[in-house]
Amino acid sequence: MSVKILTDSTSYLSEEICKQLDIRKVSLSVSWNDISIKEVDINNEDFYRMMKEKGIPKSSQPSIGEMLEEMKKVVANGDSLVCIFLSSEMSGTYSSALMVKEMVLEEYKDAQIEIIDSRSNCMQLGFAVIAGAKAAKEGKTLNEIVEIVNQNLKRSRFLFIPDNLEYLKKGGRIGGAKALIGNLLKIIPILTVEDGKTAILTKVRTKKNAVAAMIEKLVRDSSIYGLKEIVVHHINCFIEALDLSKLIEEKLGIKADIVDIGPVIGLHVGPGAIGFVYYTEMDMR
């Protein structure tokens, strides 16, 4: 009997990594009045084109049926399962997973299933999933894997900036007047995820200054806690992401891979958003 890992599409892990580390994944969806599409089935270019034509869609959690099927596949084979999902403050995915777990236990009474609320998303979730999957590959126990996942989450940080405030306004994350004034004054919030919610770390003038402030925070955290790994996130601005990755390598001597943010998270910040996720050798929280 081994331990398997299940996560959701907002971890934005590549199919290559999932295959290599035997990570299972369920997908959230985006939907307009006339169509619903799984996040894993649409690329950013098509999504933002549709968003421009149809307006801002709603996002929805994975279906109960899909989640039930994935969990049953694992326990029916006699394996244990650790599920790591995006923040319960951002989606009902976690609470649905708890319900599905009880459904599975009705049929497989001895099944071992742990559900973890990552309190985050994107590669802050993804790094925790990778840590758990590597531990599973090494033959760690279910309890050991849960501890390793939670430890990773205590050591990670997600910093990102929108290109402008329009999408935050449309998505209801910032008031219309504030967004208008912010865009006029070129005020850019540096966003992070704390206590499971998107929060403003600080505000600066211009995107260039915001990138510099994010780098300053990264360098400071690295000097205090020790940097282990980092990825650069972006939405439809690969060249900027590449420049940011090079800047990080120059400052800290560590290479940052580049990972797209998909539609479910991206619809709240819009194209041009850029940032990074990193985790450290010691706890940051």
On whether residue 197 sits in a domain, the answer given is yes
Q: Has residue 45 been placed in a domain?
A: yes
SS3 248: helix
pLDDT at residue 234 in the model = 97
DSSP 15-43: HHHHHHHTEEEE--EEE-SS-EEEGGG--
Residue 273 lies in a domain: yes
Q: Which two tokens stand for residue 273?
A: 């958003």
pTM of the model: 0.94
Question: Within this chain, do residues 99 and 166 fall inside the same structural domain, yes or no?
Answer: no
> Do 132 and 204 fall into the same domain?
no
Q: Are residues 26 and 107 in the same domain?
A: yes
Q: Where do we find the tokens 């504030």?
A: 178
Where is the domain boundary, 108, 128, 154? 154
Question: Could you tell me if 201 and 71 lie in one domain?
Answer: no
By the 8 A CB rule, do 166 and 53 touch? Answer: no
Q: Are residues 194 and 123 in the same domain?
A: no
Give 48-98 as a DSSP string: HHHHHHH---EEEPPPHHHHHHHHHHHHHTT-EEEEEES-TTT-SHHHHHH
Backbone angles phi, psi at 255, to 5 degrees: -85, 130
Q: Tell whether 25 and 140 lie within a shared domain.
A: yes
- Evaluated on CA atoms 9, 163, 160, 118, the torsion sign reads negative
Partners of 25 in the β-ladder: 7
CB-based contacts of 180: which residues, under 8 Å, 6+ apart? 169
Domain boundary among 118, 136, 154: 154
In whole angstroms, what is the distance from residue 30 CA to residue 89 CA? Answer: 18
Is the same domain home to 24 and 148? yes
Please give the Cα distance from 15 to 8 (Å, whole number): 12
Indicate if 136 and 24 belong to the same structural domain: yes
* Measured CA distances, 161 to 27, 211, 213, 230, 264 (Å): 25, 8, 11, 16, 16
C-alpha–C-alpha distance, residues 57 and 245, integer Å: 31
Q: Which amino acid is at 112?
A: Q
How far is 243 from 220, CA to CA, in rounded Å?
A: 20
Strand partners, 227: 280
Picking from 128, 154, 180, the residue at the C-terminal end of a domain is 154
Element (H, E) at 280: strand 274-280
DSSP string, 170-213: HTTSS-HHHHHHHHHTTEEEEEEEETTEEEEEEEEESHHHHHHH
At 172 the pLDDT is 54
Full strand arrangement of the beta sheet holding 197-205? 197-205, 187-194, 156-161, 274-280, 227-234, 257-260
Amino acid making up residue 68: L
As beta bridge partners, residue 204 has 188
Beta carbons of 274 and 208 less than 8 angstroms apart: no
CATH of the domain at 262: 3.30.1180.10
CB of 45 closer than 8 Å to CB of 76: no
| Number of domains composing the chain | 2
* Nearest alpha carbon to residue 188 among 170, 172, 166, 171: 166
Is 285 inside any structural domain? no
Give CA angle at 157 (89, 57), nearest 5°: 40
Q: Are residues 134 and 179 in the same domain?
A: no
Q: Render each residue's pLDDT in the chain as its tens digit; 285 residues.
A: 899 999 999 999 999 999 999 999 999 999 999 999 999 999 998 998 998 899 889 999 999 999 999 999 999 999 999 999 999 999 999 999 999 999 999 999 999 999 999 999 999 999 999 999 999 999 999 999 999 999 999 999 999 999 877 777 665 545 444 444 445 457 788 999 999 988 889 989 888 999 999 999 999 999 999 999 999 999 999 999 999 999 999 999 999 999 999 999 998 888 999 999 999 999 998
| Domain limits for position 34 | 3-154
pLDDT at 285: 86
